Structure 1
Amino acid sequence: MQFVEPFLLWGALAVSIPVAIHFWHQKQGKPLPWAATQWLIEKQQQQSRGFRLDNVPLLIIRCLLLILLAFLLAQPILNWFQQPPAIQKVHLVQPSQAVADNYKFELTDARKKGEKVIWADERLSELDDKPINGQPSTRFSALKLQTAINRLDTKNTELHLYLINSQKLADVPVISVPAKFSLHTAVDSAAQPRPYLVVKNEQKMFINRTGKLVSLPTLDPTLKFQSVPVHSGPIAVLLSYQKAQEQQTVKAALAALSDVYGFDFSIDDKPASNRSYDWILTDKLPSKPSPQTFYTLSGMAQLDGQANVMFTNESLTPQTSDRAATGQLPEWLGLQLLHHYELGLTNASLSNRDLQSLFVPTNKPTTEQQAGIQHGLLLLFVCLLAVERWIALTKNA
C-alpha cells in the first residue's frame, strides 16, 4: 500500500486522546446522598484497585475513527493486484548545440534502443531519423522547460533531462518533474559574449565585472561582448492601463529609470497603428502577443505562455502594490527589462544542492487509482461514526 501524503499518518497517534479522556472521565466522582454508606466501604475499596476502563466498545470505536481519519487524509493507494506498468524512457534535451555535442554518445545509444529523444521546444520535435548535431540553439528558459515537461505524457515514464547548468534554471522557484527522472547537466565552459544596449548619446549599457549596470561611452575592453547590441536607440514603450493612477505610477517609474540609469524610452499612452513596440505594460491580456515584444501584465495570475510575457498579480499602484508604495517599482521594472534582454545573465552554474532543491519530483496518482479505496474508507468512517453516536447517546457517555 502506498500513500500520497504519508506524513499525515502521524495523525494516528491521536488515538491516545480518547483513552486519556476515558481515564479522566471515570475519575470524576459525583457525590450522591446515600444511607448506610459504611456497608459499601469494603466493596468500593475492592473495585478501586488498579485501572478499569468503562464502555470498552465505545473506546475502541473512537480509536478506530481517529485511525481511519488519518488513513483517509494520507490518501492510500492499493496496487496489490495490478501488474507493474512498462516504463518508457524519454530523453528531453535542451535545444543547444553544446548539450547535443556533450551527450552525443548517450543520445545516439538511446535512439538505437528505440527510446524517445526529444528537443525541449514548442513542438517537442523528435530526433528519430535526424542527426543529433545541427539543431540550432534557441533562447531557452526554465519556463520553457517546465512547459515542455508538462506537455509530455509522464505517466509510467522515466524522464532523462539534458541541460546546461546555468543561472537561467533558477528563474522559477521549482521545476516539477516525474517521480522517475535523471538529470544530466553540462557546464558551458566557453566564455559567451555579453550582450549590451546602446542608449542615449551612444552610451553603451552593460553589466560590468562587479555586477553593476553601467552606461559608458565605450565597452570594457577586458570583457567579451557581442558584435552588435541587442537593442540600439530608444526603447518604444506602450502604457495601456484602464486605471489612470496605475498609468501615472508606471510612467513615473520609467522616468526614474531613465534619469538614474540612462535608459532611452519613447513612451506612448495610446497605441499607434503604424508603430511596433519593444515593451508593452498593460493590465489587459493581449490576444496575439508578438514574439519581438516584451509584455508586463499586471493584475492577473501567472499563466503558461511565452517567455517574453511576464505576469504580476497586483495592480501597480501605491494602494495595491508594495513595490509602488516603497519606491521599489523602478528597480523591479528595470530588472525585468534587463532579464528580457539577458543583460544580467552570467555563465555561473548552480551547485548540486541548488539543483536538487530546484527539481521537485511529483508522483500524483490518477483519480481512478484513489477512488475505490477512498470511497470504501469513507463509507466505513461514516458507519463507525453513526455507531459511535448511537452508543454514546444510549449510554450517556
Structure 2
Amino acid sequence: MQFLNPIWLFAIAAISIPVVIHLWNIRPGKTLKVGSIALITAAAQKSSRSFKLNDVLLFILRCLFLSTLAFLLAAPFWQRSQATAKTKGWVLIPKANLKETYKNLKFTVDSLSKAGYEFLFFDENFKKFELSKTLNDSLLKDKPEVKNYWSLVAKLNEKLPPALSVYLLTPNQAKYFNGSKPSVSLNLHWLTYTPADSVSTWIESAWFTTNNSIKVIEGNCRPSGTYFTSYIIQSEGDPKSPFVVDVNHGSPVVSLKTAPEKHTPIDTGALRVAIYSDKYSVDEKYLVAAVQTIIDFTQRKVVVKKYTDAAQIPVKQDWLFWLSDKPVDASALVKSAHIFNYQQGKIELESSSIKTSSAFALAYKEDPAAIYKLVKNEISDGKPIWVDGYGNPVLTQEQSPKTTQYHFYSRFNPAWNDLVWSNKFPKLLLKLVLYHPDYEVLNSHDLTRIDHRQMMPNIIWSAKKIDNSKIIVQTDLSRYFWLMLIAVFIVERWVAHKNKPVLK
C-alpha cells in the first residue's frame, strides 16, 4: 500500500489524545462512617493518584478511528504490475466527450474494440470502462471540462511501458493544452476531431459611455481563431441592433436576441483612478496619456485625479498608481481595490526586454519592449505577471483579502525602458485596469483549433527505464477506508453510550 499524501500520516500522533484521557484517572477518596473520632490518632494527609487504563474497548476504538482518518487523508492506493501480454493496448477517451468522440471517430473506435483494446477514461485515474455499456448509459452526458491534456499524458507516461500501443482520442481545441510539451516514451497514436459546436458568440462586456450610450463588446470564436466586435446602442434604441436591453432585479442588462436568457450586466458606474507621485512627474505624464488613450478608445466613464499628498486620496478608489520610491502609505492601502506601486530595491543595468503573457503576444504580434534598468530583489513579492528575458520579475501580483497589489520593478520612463514609447503600453494598461492580468480572451469560449504537430508531445524512447512487459496499475483504497471509518465511528458511539452511567 502506498500514499499520495503521506505527510498526513503524521496525524496518527493524534492517538495520544485518547491515551491521555484514558490513563489519567484520579480516584476520589473513600468516606468511612465512624461513631467517634476521639480515639483516632491524627495523621499527615496523603493524596494518591493512579494511572489505570479504563474502558479498554472504547480506548481501542478511538485510537482506531484516529488512525483510520489519518490513513484516509493520506490517500491510500494499491500499486501492482500487470503483464502487457494480457492486453492488446489502451484506448483513452475523455469521459465528458465520450459520446461525441464515438460519433466523430466511430469507425476507429469500433475497429480498436474488435481488436481487443481496453478502453479507459482519459483523466487522473485512467479508470477502465465497458464501451457498449457506457455509451448506452442515459445518465452520461457530454459536459466538457477544460483539463490540461499534456499533464495527463505526462502522468500516463509514468504508468505504461514504451512497448504498449496507446490510442488517445480527444477534441483538437487549444483550450485543452497549457504549459510546455511533455517528453514521453509512449507508443502514442493521437487522433483528434473538431467538435460540432465550433462556433460561439457571446457578450464579453457592456457599459454606459460618456454620452450615455451603451457600448457592447461581442465575442466571436471560430476554429480559425477568436475576434471581438464593438457595438454602440444609442439611448433611444435601435431596432436593427442584435441585442436586447432589459432590466433584471433593478439593474440594466443586455443579451443577444438569439439567446435572450443569457444576461450580461451593463456597467453603470465610473472607474475611479488616483495617481500619487512626488519626484516622478515625468512618469505621471506618460501614465496619464495612456489612461486618456484608454478612455478615448473604450468610451468608458473614468475619473482620473492626481495627488501629491497621500492623506488627500479619497476612499473607494478602483485603482491607485503609487509613483514613488516611498512605501505605500498605510492609509492609502485601505482606500483602493487595486494598487500599482514602484518596487524599491537595488537598481541594476539591464539589457533585455519585457515579456508579457503569451496570449497577449499572440493576439497583437508585437515585439517586446526593451528594458534598460531593473530593480533586483532576491525575494520577489507575489506572482510574476511580466518578466524580462532572464525570468526576473518586472511586474508581480500580490493578493490580500481586500486589496490586489502590483509591484513594478521598473519605471514609466524612457530611461528605464521603451514601454512608454510603445503602442502596446495603453493596451497592456487596458488589460491590467479593466481585466485581470491573467485574463485570456479565449477562456471558456475558446474553440480555436490546434495543429496536430503542435499537440503531439516530444517522443523520447530513452526517457524511461522500466520493464517493457509490465503496466503499473493503481487501485484507489479510499472507499474502503471510508467504510471502515464510518463503521468504527458507529461502534464507538454505541460503546460510549452503553458505558455511560445512569443518573438517579
- The TM tier, using the shorter chain, reads 0.3 to 0.5
TM-score of the pair, normalised by structure 1:
0.43
Greater per-residue helix proportion? 1
